[in-house]
Structure 1
Amino acid sequence: MTASRTIPLVPSASVHEHAWMTESVHLTSDGRVRYVRCAGCSVRRVDVDAVAVAPPTALTREIG
């Protein structure tokens, strides 16, 4: 089989700097859970603010 007939295993993703906007915030026993959406591509993500002095970390992978 030649290279022109193969199917890439990983689809190419558009690469850009996400502009995360908070859609909602909920307080939980693990900290503050933040639901965010990229203003540019509408991908959504869930972040958790576990400690007030640390930046938010992604709790889920990007969807969309």
Structure 2
Amino acid sequence: MTASRTRSAAAAASVHEHGWITASVHATSVGHVRYVRCAGCGGWRVDADVATAAPPAAVSRVVV
């Protein structure tokens, strides 16, 4: 198979719109740390959920 026909798991994870599901949440001094998993590709990400009205922000890259 040629390289153009194969894809790494990381590349495959970046191709679709992730559907993040919270696996666990831990309180910190400035808010929460949220560990989320993509329902489609199984990738993981860590979000920081600071104590404001803003939505959680990713603090890591997708890990497959």
What TM-score, normalized by structure 1, do the two folds share?
0.76
Equivalent residue, structure 2, for 1:26: 26
Larger Rg: 1
The answer for unaligned runs of 5 or more in structure 1 is: 1-6
The answer for unaligned runs of 5 or more in structure 2 is: none
SS in 2 for 1:13: helix
Q: How many residues align?
A: 56
Aligned partner of 2:52: which letter?
Answer: A
Any idea what the Cα deviations from partners look like across 1:5-53, whole Å, max 9, x if unmatched? Answer: xx78xx6823100000000001001311100000000000000111330
Runs of 4+ with deviation above 2 angstroms = none
- Taking only the aligned residue pairs, the percentage that are identical comes to 55
Of the two structures, which has the highest relative contact order with CA contacts closer than 8 Å and spacing of 6 or more? Answer: 2
The RMSD of aligned alpha carbons is 2.0
Distance 2:62 2:30 in 1: 21
Equivalent residue, structure 2, for 1:38: 38
